[in-house]
Amino acid sequence: MHLVQQVLFILCATGAIYIFAKKVSELRRNIMLGRPEDINDRKSERWKNMVLLALGQKKMFKKPVPAILHLFVYAGFIIMNIEIFEIFLDGILGTHRLFEPILGGFYDVLIGFFEILAVLVLSGCLIFLIRRNIVKVPRLTMKELNGWPKEDANLILIMEVILMTLFLTMNTADQALQFHGAEHPAPFWITGHFIGIFSNCSDLTIMGVERTCWWLHILGIFFFLNYIPYSKHFHIVLAFPNAYYSKLIPQGEIKNMPEIQNEVLYMMEPDKAPASTGSEPEHKRFGAKDVTDLSWKNLMDAYSCTECGRCTANCPANQTGKKLSPRKIMMDTRDRLEEVGKNINTNKEFKDDGKSLLNDYITVEELRACTTCQACVEACPVMIDPLAIIIQLRRNLVMEESSAPQEWNMMFGNIENNMAPWKFSPDDRDAWING
């Protein structure tokens, strides 16, 4: 019987890991569809960002209450992987609590600590469910979350509640067997107080409960593992590289377009222009119209989005009733990238589907509402930059489609003719001091 369970477990584990690896490989391919971007400077600062922002969750604590609750869930997820590792090895080797004889008395302390974490995770998830569905925190109930995004957020919380409940029930049943004469570790810190619920049960019944919870718990972990890449909760994985590769230049500094800078340089200093090769170079799109025009970092940002809504809650354009929502910008980018990925899966290469990120997903009205104030960038706990995507899409509108409000066109004309946004010639710029 034990051999059958081992074989079944190994098959389940192998299948779960294979499916997860295949999906992660697909997501990596999607991210690398973006334009190249060299981000390899100031490595010590980048490691510091990763430790403080991704591991330490520094920016989360601007809102202490959700930050503490999130810390419970986050710490439980990270630290309880040790317990999952033991269950994994037990399943492969056909053992029961493999680490107990190795760690001795420290094992009871470790499991007791895990139980405390499990209760904190359980409590945190229940409070998050209440905040989303009963209290209805405004940033968690905006219209872009209607449908699947709301269901996704609730489903992941419910799964974590179920997994923690199974873990605690498994430990309770396991200890109840000890008091029925079975050889198991000493009572644990929390579940040891609840073994009385099995006082009238036979050993066989208790064993059945413990084994059922064990199997449901580990199968739930395998399901959870393969659900994450389809969910916004993939930020659990991508928060670390995203924080590492985050922008280090001052937030108000916007990257110029080298191709435009070179054109201006060549006009002013023709001797620096490259020699003509006799054939026109292929036109490189200015800005971005679709996801493949964005950089790989922009696309990683999209997959890293937690949909927490802090960016949108701090956006002055959104606060004044305009349609712009930085969170929606990131969600739309991810949705379009997923659509492009499915197109490649079906056709082995991308076949033009007549759609693009600009216009089909993100409207001109949304883009023009942005004031480039950087509030969304400052608010994001995992250093996502929605503004970088907005700027690239607006550049495409202006430079490829000649689409800009009249006020912008007047400013562009003044900059071109007067080298300033105002309608004064350079010679008259200081005339205001006369008299």
* Residue 257 structure tokens: 């377009």
> For residue range 208-259, what is the model confidence (pLDDT) as tens digits?
999 999 999 999 999 999 999 999 989 989 999 999 999 898 888 888 888 7
- Read off the pTM: 0.85
Task: Provide, rounded to the nearest whole percent, the portion of the chain with pLDDT above 90.
Answer: 52
> H/E element holding 169?
helix 148-178
* Residue 358 structure tokens: 């600009």
* pLDDT computed for residue 185 by the predictor: 46
Instruction: For Cα atoms 194, 195, 197, give the angle at the middle one, nearest 5 degrees.
Output: 85
Q: Which of 278, 282, 235, 242 is nearest to 259 (CA)?
A: 282
- Checking if the pLDDT of 9 tops 80, the result is yes
- Checking if the pLDDT of 278 tops 60, the result is no
Q: How many CB atoms lie within 10 A of CB 361?
A: 21
Average per-residue pLDDT for the chain: 88
* Residue 343 structure tokens: 């197109």
Q: Which of 340, 248, 251, 260 is nearest to 299 (CA)?
A: 340
* Residue 434 structure tokens: 């006369």
Structural domains of the chain sorted by starting position, each given as residue range(s) with its CATH number in brackets:
2-31+63-234 (1.20.950), 258-268+286-424 (1.10.1060)
> For residue range 127-171, what is the model confidence (pLDDT) as tens digits?
999 999 999 999 998 999 999 999 999 999 999 999 999 999 998
- Checking if the pLDDT of 85 tops 70, the result is yes
Task: Provide, rounded to the nearest whole percent, the portion of the chain with pLDDT above 70.
Answer: 95
